[in-house]
Copies of this chain bind each other. A is one copy, B any other.
């Protein structure tokens, strides 16, 4: 086995995103113990930084020692007890995954669906809530499989007056890229992943709980089915007690701390604006090339952009050429959308004007080779114009 040297990549898929060299370098700090006074200080910094990124003053904000899916499972197993009624809003792969995990946690799930490429309608949720009387309502903010950004406020409005309902919100592909407004929206359990808009290597899942979610945890009648993800234990490790639960992934926590410093330097509003601008420039470029966006115009995410593969174009070949020639990774659709869309991520350190311009130029070249008949050279120009007026 030879030394591994990672190939050059520009990560423009739905995650992971590129990591800033400062974040990678933080991981080369020599190891310290998970209970070392120096590491306890790092834990404090990370919790403070995450509170700022979540825009919350929640007393329970921490990174779970697992990937975004571990964050999803943490939400479900801690908030749901066997036999609980649960409503899951789903319009794609990760909404469906929420349902699966909620059912394994013992929940009786009622689905509220929307067509792929659309967001869930508040009225559909209202009906489900009135009929199913859930203790938990779960939905995805940015559905990575479709590029749809679910408007949060209209769903939350439906739940006003249902004080016994806990909201679980998947912000894996939105935290630190688009506003979530955890506190203003009164969200109860929000989870994310490290490798999207935070641009930290995968392996951590930041979560935050409202006071109401903490009460729900305190009032459980049954132990949490997962011991590894049991917040009644984890909170004493990440809380003032610092009581040993498991060995935190020390190096990844170093990386997260450095990423949170980068975010503080940039400013959260400025970071959101960067994501919005790059998204708008990309869409302007793609549409100028005659391509059609997949997600509805009013619900497009800034972080994961979905575009319909033009007819008679071999989508996998296009992706292969982007990777081989330029190191650019974009990703195709999954499940029903396999072969039908491309997913182009502009998240965290990957959300850059230079990535947008390079990608549009490269796509122009490759699509022409592949027999696409749309206009040439228009994409880069349209994007550049969008930047000029931004």
A residues at B contact (CB < 8 Å): 1, 3-9, 11, 13, 15-19, 24-36, 38, 42, 45, 49, 65-70, 73, 77, 97, 100-101, 104-105, 193, 195, 201-203, 223-229, 244-252, 254-255, 257-258, 260-261, 264, 329, 331, 334
A251 touches B201 (CB 8 A): yes
| B101, B202, B249: the one within 8 Å of A201 (CB) | B249
7 interchain residue pairs of minimum CB distance: A203-B249, A6-B29, A201-B251, A69-B246, A202-B247, A27-B27, A24-B28
Q: Which of A7, A30, A254 has the most CB of B within 10 A?
A: A30
Can you tell how many copies of this chain the complex includes? Answer: 2
Q: How far is the CA of A83 from the CA of B42 in the complex (A)?
A: 42
Q: How far is the CA of A261 from the CA of B5 in the complex (A)?
A: 14
Q: A129 to chain B: closest CB distance in Å?
A: 25
A34 touches B16 (CB 8 A): yes
A104 touches B70 (CB 8 A): no
A4 touches B33 (CB 8 A): no
List chain B residues, Cβ under 8 A from A246: 67-70
List chain B residues, Cβ under 8 A from A260: 1
List chain B residues, Cβ under 8 A from A66: 65-66, 70, 228
Q: A41 to chain B: closest CB distance in Å?
A: 8
23 A-B contact pairs sorted by A residue (CB < 8 Å): A1-B257, A4-B26, A4-B42, A4-B257, A6-B29, A6-B30, A6-B31, A7-B36, A7-B38, A24-B251, A25-B28, A27-B201, A36-B329, A66-B66, A73-B228, A77-B226, A97-B227, A100-B227, A101-B227, A201-B251, A202-B247, A225-B226, A251-B251
| B18, B26, B264: the one within 8 Å of A30 (CB) | B18
B329 touches A45 (CB 8 A): no
B261 touches A65 (CB 8 A): no
B202 touches A34 (CB 8 A): yes
Given contacts A1-B257, A7-B38, 10 further A-B contacts (CB under 8 A): A6-B30, A6-B31, A7-B32, A15-B247, A18-B31, A66-B66, A66-B70, A69-B227, A73-B228, A104-B224
Q: A17 to chain B: closest CB distance in Å?
A: 7
A248 touches B202 (CB 8 A): yes
Q: How far is the CA of A249 from the CA of B249 in the complex (A)?
A: 10
A28 closest partner in B (C-beta): B24
- With A65-B70, A225-B225, A252-B252 in contact, do A4 and B29 touch (Cβ < 8 Å)? yes
| B67, B105, B203, B329: the one within 8 Å of A33 (CB) | B329
